[in-house]
Amino acid sequence: GAGVSQTPSNKVTEKGKYVELRCDPISGHTALYWYRQSLGQGPEFLIYFQGTGAADDSGLPNDRFFAVRPEGSVSTLKIQRTERGDSAVYLCASSLATGGAGGYTFGSGTRLTVV
């Protein structure tokens, strides 16, 4: 597609529920990144993929968070047993190659609210 697409744009869930957030990167972009942004803060790194494999998952806060990219294109961020502290905007970005060379293109984000 022309840009990075994220769905849903908004998600409200109850504490303890499971959620999946989807990211469809720009066609041909091999690197895909997940960030989380809380109000008044910059994006916080979660995980990035080079192709199908997770190249760096050091930002995942705990084992409730998991992400996959099985065919090297679309990625899904999965959060189990959601907590109110998980409420944030989840941003996905993609780039042509590893790292920021040329910069990332961000999607419009998924605003997750855990009530």
Footprint on this chain of other proteins (rule: CB under 8 A) = 33, 35, 40-45, 48, 55-56, 58, 91, 98-109
Quick one: 27 or 58, whose CB is closer to other proteins? 58
Quick one: 17 or 55, whose CB is closer to other proteins? 55
Q: Cα dist. 42→38, 74, 86 in Å?
A: 7, 24, 16
Minimum distance from CB of 99 to other proteins (Å)?
A: 3
Minimum distance from CB of 63 to other proteins (Å)?
A: 20
Q: What residues have CB less than 8 Å from 29, skipping those under 6 apart?
A: 94, 95, 96, 105
Minimum distance from CB of 74 to other proteins (Å)?
A: 18
Beta bridge partners of 20: 78
Asked if 49 and 69 count as a contact pair (C-beta separation under 8 A), the reply is yes
Quick one: 31 or 114, whose CB is closer to other proteins? 31
Minimum distance from CB of 73 to other proteins (Å)?
A: 20
84 closest CA partner among 60, 113, 111, 46: 113
